[in-house]
Chains A and B, each alone.
Chain A
Amino acid sequence: MQKHNLYLDNAATTPLHPDALAAMMPFLTERYGNPSGIYDYARETKKSVDEARRQIAAGINAKPEEIFFTCGGTEADNWAIKGAAEARWDKARHIITSAIEHHAVLHTCQYLEKRGYSVTYLPVDENGTVSPESVEKAIRPDTALVSVMLANNEVGTVEPVSAIGEITRKHGVLLHTDAVQAAGHIPIDVEALNADLLTVSAHKFYGPKGVGALYIKKGVRIAQFMHGGAQENNRRAGTENVAGIVGMGKAFSIAAQELPGEYARVSALRDRLISGIEATIPHAKLNGHRHDRLPGNVNFSFAFIEGESLLLLLDMQGCRASSGSACSSGSLDPSHVLMAMGIPHEKAHGSIRFTLGRHNTGADVDALLEILPPMIARLREMSPLYEDFITGKGQVWNTAKK
């Protein structure tokens, strides 16, 4: 069997852009000065951190002084939500979020519930879309914050954050959006989104791991999260991860520059993969919104099979993907995102996510379309669910009662 070398898990992480690495190298070697210092070594690193700040700001239509570097998307989500909630404790202790958020948001909200806040988890429709009307209905006089992601990491659905932002502005409620999956892949304009707080993470757009940023709109007050020194204009303590920040700035400016072309190219690959799977594999269902979707995301449920076993077969042929199956996550529950979309358990267990990126080509899509159908056929061949379906004892999808 021919062994491939396919990386189709770009939503998990992306390889570092060589130009970002080149930009980082001096700060891992001779340019080690602490930006807080007063001497020449410090001034040059400070300048580079501020240049990265301008690069991030430019890419999302923000001002440089509205960008605060963190150690990643998770910290930025934690800071945004806990910080906004804490700063409003006296007047407003209600938070609205969606059922399909990343765990960095969901688990933060669950933590706040234990601390005396109340949280509304908005449902989504079968495409994984949060309706702006449901946000408006959920807003109470004591609502402090709405946090809805810009694009979902599992099914790729792009949320109507701009419309949600119009509502939060009207009601004087803060809006946070986790843009970790979106940044660098779809255009982001914090003004058009009406966002007050926005999270990005470098390693999702070919930057290094361990660095992210939180956009905090000028005038928006949130409590401090990291206490210590006076870095980041006294709002986020800790010596700057200079190399990481520089690499992030470089990667983001490249991504922003290449975005129009890459968006079109990767979307076309995505659609080719989707239609290829639909044409060659029966009983396959696309998860997530067909059109309002991240350019690189393809998520399918394959009836009668379980995701982890498919991932193992793919891995044996050099193809890296991920699954919403419980078995691949180490827990017994399948993906909370697929469950929130009303997808029955066994269909969620049989879900696979392929995420395309800048290194993928049409040849990769063709290679996957060649190896995937026989794998599905092989697993179905040994599936009692498929046997029941063939013999008329079972359905394509057994509907799990909630």
Chain B
Amino acid sequence: MEYSEKVMDHFMNPRNVGEIEGASGIGTVGNAKCGDIMRVFLQIGEDGVIQDAKFKTFGCGAAVATSSMATELVKGKSIQEALEITNKTVMEALDGLPPVKIHCSCLAEEALHAALWDYAQKNSITIEGLTPPKEVHHDGNE
């Protein structure tokens, strides 16, 4: 199994690590049982543009790299544009992932969606095309 140079770059020098104080939306997905947990923080302006994105991730190299790339891609996007970021977008931006790591890119997409869902809940708005996130299982119970 080998990672692309882009994946290694985003793992060794992850962009947007951290948290946003008073974030507009926070989404946590994954579970420790599978070995990956991602938490995405989004700062969304009144114009509906994503001004900032940060993340914290417990997981392998691919999990860190996909979190880093997903937060990079989402910055400056409108909510609708953000919804168009899929696991495939993230994967392509990283020059691909080993097959066994594709689920990490799915997790990145889910984390973005979960943060947007949280934003919508907090502001009592409906975002077209956004479904509620799957429940998080910190304790490994499924």
Contact = CB atoms under 8 A, between A and B. Distances in A.
Contact of B141 (A308, A325, A401): A401
Contacts of B12: 312-313, 316
A309 B60 contact: yes
Interface stretch (A25-33, A170-178, A273-281, A376-384): A376-384
A327 B60 contact: yes
A402 to B, nearest CB: 10
B35 A382 contact: no
Interface residues of A, number: 33
A312 B35 contact: no
A400 B17 contact: no
B60 A382 contact: no
Interface in B41-78: 55-64
Contact of A401 (B32, B38, B59, B140): B140
Contacts of A316: 12
A305 interface: yes
B82 to A, nearest CB: 20
A230 to B, nearest CB: 43
Interface stretch (A120-128, A255-263, A343-351): A343-351
B56 A384 contact: yes
A313 B38 CA distance: 19
Interface string A365-387: 00000000000000001111111
A326 B140 contact: no
Contact of B56 (A330, A331, A383, A394): A383
Interface residues of B, number: 33
A306 B60 contact: yes
Interface in B1-57: 1, 8, 11-12, 14, 17-19, 28, 32-39, 55-57
A332 interface: yes
Contacts of B55: 382
A110 interface: no
Nearest to B1: A330
A5 interface: no
Contacts of A387: 19, 39, 56
B139 interface: yes
Contact of A349 (B32, B38, B138): B32
Interface in A8-25: none
A400 B58 contact: no
Contacts of B33: 345-346, 400
Contacts of A345: 32-35, 140
A334 interface: yes
B5 to A, nearest CB: 13
Contacts of A400: 32-33, 139-141
A312 B138 contact: no
A399 interface: yes
A384 B18 CA distance: 9
B125 interface: no
A398 B17 CA distance: 24
Given A346-B32, A382-B56, A384-B58, A309 B11 contact: yes
Interface in A304-331: 304-306, 308-309, 312-313, 316, 325-328, 330-331
B139 A401 contact: yes
B37 A330 contact: no
A384 B39 contact: yes
A398 B137 CA distance: 11
Contacts of B60: 306, 308-309, 325, 327-328
Interface of B: 1, 8, 11-12, 14, 17-19, 28, 32-39, 55-64, 100-101, 138-141
28 contacts: A305-B58, A306-B36, A306-B60, A306-B63, A309-B11, A312-B11, A316-B12, A327-B60, A327-B61, A327-B62, A331-B100, A332-B34, A345-B32, A349-B32, A381-B17, A382-B18, A382-B64, A383-B56, A384-B38, A384-B39, A386-B58, A398-B138, A398-B139, A398-B140, A399-B139, A400-B32, A400-B140, A401-B141
User: What 4 A-B pairs have minimum CB-CB distances, sorted nearest first?
Assistant: A346-B32, A327-B60, A308-B60, A400-B140
